[in-house]
Amino acid sequence: MAEICWWIVAAVAVFSAIGVVAITRPLFSAFSLVLHLIAIAALYAMLDAHFLAAVQILVYAGAIMVLVVFLIMLLSLKGEDRPVSLKRAFTGGIFLSVFVGLIFSGIQLSFDKPDTGFVGSVSSIGSELFSRYVFTFEIISVLIMVGLVAAVALAKREGGNGAQ
């Protein structure tokens, strides 16, 4: 059962990643990215890396996606408008319900297994992150900040409120 859940969640992760690129409306693309990040967190939980799964949900699916949605709304990005059919919305709701059920059952199965050691624990991740990868960690944080400042600067310049 755990292997079937693994493959289904992995397929959802792949298809939601494809959806991020294929969906033309930016907000729905961001929602597809949230689904992808949650699927990745479920895969982490199935691999007994529960700390990584929790951080994936809190940091990426929570905080970073709030910033992405904020920037989408700040820049007033719009995609092409297509009417939403009731059949399509119902099918999507059923798919999402089955997916959430599979995630919960897969995570429950991963918690039932015995502890495998220190892989994915807080201390092992902290020692690796702040010893071997500290420079990379800081460069990525600066890169994210530069991207946010650039997006706000572009939004102010195109807004037409006099600031150029």
Q: Which of 32-46, 48-62, 83-97 has the lowest mean pLDDT?
A: 83-97
* Predicted pLDDT of residue 81: 61
Residue 68 resides in a domain: yes
Q: What values do phi and psi take at 84, rounded to 5?
A: -95, 125
What CATH number did the domain enclosing 68 receive? 1.20.120.1200
Summarize the confidence of residues 79-105 as an average pLDDT: 70
Instruction: Tell me, yes or no, whether 14 lies in a domain.
Output: yes
Q: What is the mean pLDDT of residues 137-163?
A: 74
Are 37 and 124 spatial neighbours (Cβ–Cβ below 8 Å)? no
Q: Is residue 77 over pLDDT 70?
A: no
Mean pLDDT of 58-85: 73
- pLDDT for residue 117 is more than 60: no
| Window from 37-41, 119-123, 128-132, 141-145 with minimum mean pLDDT | 119-123
Mean pLDDT check: name the lowest of 44-58, 69-83, 111-125: 111-125
Q: How much of the chain, in percent, has pLDDT values that exceed 90?
A: 1
State the average pLDDT over residues 140-160: 77
pLDDT given for residue 164 in this prediction: 45
Q: Can you give the residue range of the structural domain that contains 68?
A: 2-113
> What is the maximal distance between C-alpha atoms in the chain?
62
pLDDT greater than 50 at residue 107 = yes
* pLDDT value of residue 96: 72
Q: Output the CA–CA distances (angstroms, integers) from residue 143 to 25, 67, 148, in the order listed.
A: 25, 14, 9
Q: What integer is the mean pLDDT of 54-60?
A: 84
The verdict on residue 126 lying in a domain is no
Of 1, 154, 24, 2, the C-alpha closest to 78 is 24
**Total count of domains within the chain:** 1
| Residue 15 belongs to a domain | yes
Q: Per-residue pLDDT tens for 119-136?
A: 666 777 778 778 888 888
Classify residue 137: in a domain, yes or no.
no
Residue 143, domain member (yes or no):
no
pLDDT over threshold 50, residue 163 = no
